Structure 1
Amino acid sequence: MSTTSSPAPRSRWPRILGFTLLAVLIVGAMGLYAAWRVLWRPNVSESPEGPAYLFIRTGETYPEVLLTLQKFELLREPETFDWLARRRGHPQQVKPGRYRLDFDLGNEALLGRLLRGEQDTVDFTLDAFKYKPQLARQVQRQLEADSTSLRRLLNRPAWLQQRYGVDTTAVLTLFIPGHYRLLWNTSAQGFIDSMAAQHRRFWTEQRRQRADSLQLTPTEVHVLASIVQRETAKKEDKPLIAGVYLNRLRRGMRLQADPTLLWAIGNFGVRRVLNKDKLVDSPYNTYKHKGLPPGPITSANRQSLDAVLKPAQHDYLFFCAQPGGTGYSDFAATFAEHKKNARRYQHWLDSLNIKR
């Protein structure tokens, strides 16, 4: 009788090892996915309006920042950001600033940006202003600095003189209208420092030499440029009008500049200056006082400043607005000629009133 041997039983170990390896891979993949989700997956909410910005005020704590992120729905999953921040031991005080939230930012990159204080700058626009409160309101609309602190600093004579070499009136010459890049959390003092630095950069050696040749200080150039700026918005007329006022100063004549009178009475909406307005008791009344007023009547821009530094050479002593509302002026060397120009302009104004 023959016997056949049964096959040896297959070992189960390869199958067990295979399942184990698969399980490890699955768990590892799940771990990698979890890590990717928490650390690197883009977590900033997208918007058709472009990147969002997170504003963190000075003194804000992490819970307040998290509340802002949740309230304005800036993150897809604020809970994963919070989990990572807590594991990383976020500081109680968060660095203030304006932070750009790009759509591709994950929690790791966003948290690092906030902890390092890598904030975005602000395109700060300084428009021409006539009075300090107007400047303060512009700053408060665009930066964290509050208007009260700025106005307080602008009225500290000893501090202004020591730090910038100006008084409470001439300090307005430090602010040249234009576009600047500033940090959003710039303080009131930091803002003045930045403007003073821009002012120093404007006053190159060449510009200072031009001012000297006109026998004017940089502050006096600013004051005269502020008058020119209020007189016209036409680039071509600015050097001509600057030349008129410089001719008057050289001859010891009163400037008789209407914009200075409007500044003195506090009403730039007046279309025509009346004789009673010319009686106002103010050092800014250039109908009563010779020379330049004590300070600028508006913040002069670069175009107006350069018009004073490069005035047109002529013999004109008078000017008045052209008929037709062109925005340009007619110039005259004699008072008789000026009266003719003024009558033509008055007749044009009268014709407008008749048509109405």
Structure 2
Amino acid sequence: MTKKKSSSGGTLRKFIVAMVIILLIALGFTGLNYYLKYFGPNVTNKHEYLYIHTGATFSDVYKTIKDSDMVKDTTAFYWAAENMNYTNRVKPGRYHLRSGMGNRKLINMLASGTQEPVTVSYHNLRLKEQFAGFIAKKIEPDSTAIIHLLDSTAFVQQYGFTTDNVYTMFLPNSYQMYWNTSPEKFFKRMYANYQKFWTPERKQKAAAINLSPVEVSVLASIVDAEALHDDEMPTIAGLYLNRLKKGIKLESDPTVIFAENDFTIHRVLSRYLTINSPYNTYLHTGLPPGPIMMPSVNAVNSVLNYKQSDYIYMCAKEDFSGYHNFTDNLAQHKINAHKFQEALNERNIKR
């Protein structure tokens, strides 16, 4: 009887030990599975960024991740996303993916909206349409949405501009912002920078030459279009300010090219000078209603810090150096213009 009890007790102990081992293995497997699903490397190196559009749902995000092979195990990602309640916390943005990132880290980043900003740098963009197209490549809104606001009288009036001169608000520089910045927030950001640029000192200098900040920028756009070399900008600015003071038409060739909307023109012929446009400064006295290109900060500062002179005429030098011959009298200007026209003829530049 004692041996039977002992044998029975040993069997029970073995059974309990076996069950404990099985349970430990099961727990270990469960723990390992849990760890791998949450912390194991899952993000691939096939894409650097995940773009989540405004209004996107979790289904949209999951489809993008799956179709683009952004993670190795899509089932594990889906499971982790549901368990971390990410399916109800989708936030738009541009998210930096790092190869080997685990689901938990990835989902925490997406759910918290911890996106990486983009750098938007622009300069020397001639037309509003070019500007809108360029910006649309940097942030989420498309060019149509940006143009819509640029051409909206009611919208630009909020900032004190017209649809003709609103382009002066955008000062060339490098800006950091989130990819999903709305068109309205983008404008608000650019206006804040515009206000920061127009310090009391700059406003005082503008008033001293009887121009508003907008008018300074419009003139700066002409100076920028005329000057190939920045060191000549203050002289050109001074010349045009002399013409404005004297009530003489600016007669700027770049304004005619802008009015013609043909930027392949290298020689402004007489027939172009009669183009019926408020931007044609051969026909109209004073400044055009808006800028003919996005003026650089150097050009704006050159107008504010113009070089004083008696010049009222300028003509490109015949050596095609990009510099100009300046004069205060028509006779000398005609001589300078003839030299340049002869140089154009020698190079067979007809238009």
Q: Same fold (TM over 0.5)?
A: yes
For 1:213, the equivalent position in structure 2 comes to 208
> Which residue, out of 62, 82, 94, partners 2:58?
62
CA contact (8 A) 1:321 1:328 kept: yes
Letter in 1 for 2:32: Y
1:224 equivalent to 2:223? Answer no
Tell me, in whole angstroms, the C-alpha distance in 1 between the residues paired with 2:55 and 2:154: 30
More moved, 118-127 vs 28-37: 28-37
For 1:105, the equivalent position in structure 2 comes to 101
For 1:259, the equivalent position in structure 2 comes to 254
Q: 1:268 to 1:78 in 2, by over 3 A?
A: same
For 2:37, the equivalent position in structure 1 comes to 38
Shift of 1:26: 4.3
Tell me, in whole angstroms, the C-alpha distance in 2 between the residues paired with 1:235 and 1:135: 22
For 1:243, the equivalent position in structure 2 comes to 238
Identity fraction in percent = 36
Matched position secondary structure for 2:44: coil
Mark the runs of 5 or more structure 2 residues left unpaired by the alignment: 1-5
> Which residue, out of 194, 197, 200, partners 2:192?
197
Letter in 1 for 2:39: W
Tell me, in whole angstroms, the C-alpha distance in 1 between the residues paired with 2:165 and 2:216: 11
CA contact (8 A) 1:178 1:301 kept: no
The superposition leaves residues 314-354 of structure 1 with CA deviations (integer Å, 9 ceiling, x where unpaired) of: 22222222233222222222222222222222232222239
Tell me, in whole angstroms, the C-alpha distance in 2 between the residues paired with 1:157 and 1:82: 47
Shift of 1:149: 2.5
More moved, 291-300 vs 335-344: 335-344
CA contact (8 A) 1:52 1:74 kept: no
For 2:81, the equivalent position in structure 1 comes to 85
> Which residue, out of 113, 120, 143, partners 1:117?
113
Matched position secondary structure for 2:107: helix
Shift of 1:21: 6.5
Task: Give the paired residue count.
Answer: 343
Tell me, in whole angstroms, the C-alpha distance in 2 between the residues paired with 1:104 and 1:206: 53
CA contact (8 A) 1:60 1:93 kept: no
Shift of 1:296: 0.7
CA contact (8 A) 2:51 2:92 kept: yes
TM-score by length of 1: 0.88
TM-score by length of 2: 0.89
Tell me, in whole angstroms, the C-alpha distance in 1 between the residues paired with 2:124 and 2:342: 32
> Which residue, out of 322, 330, 346, partners 1:351?
346
The superposition leaves residues 242-291 of structure 1 with CA deviations (integer Å, 9 ceiling, x where unpaired) of: 11111111222111011111111221221111112111222211112111
The superposition leaves residues 165-211 of structure 1 with CA deviations (integer Å, 9 ceiling, x where unpaired) of: 11111211111223221211122212211211111111112211211
Q: 1:16 to 1:159 in 2, by over 3 A?
A: same
Shift of 1:14: 8.8
Shift of 1:92: 4.7
Q: 1:228 to 1:23 in 2, by over 3 A?
A: same
The superposition leaves residues 85-141 of structure 1 with CA deviations (integer Å, 9 ceiling, x where unpaired) of: 122233357211111112242111111111111122111233433333222222322
Shift of 1:20: 6.6
Q: 1:165 to 1:233 in 2, by over 3 A?
A: same
User: In angstroms, what is the RMSD of aligned CA positions?
Assistant: 2.5
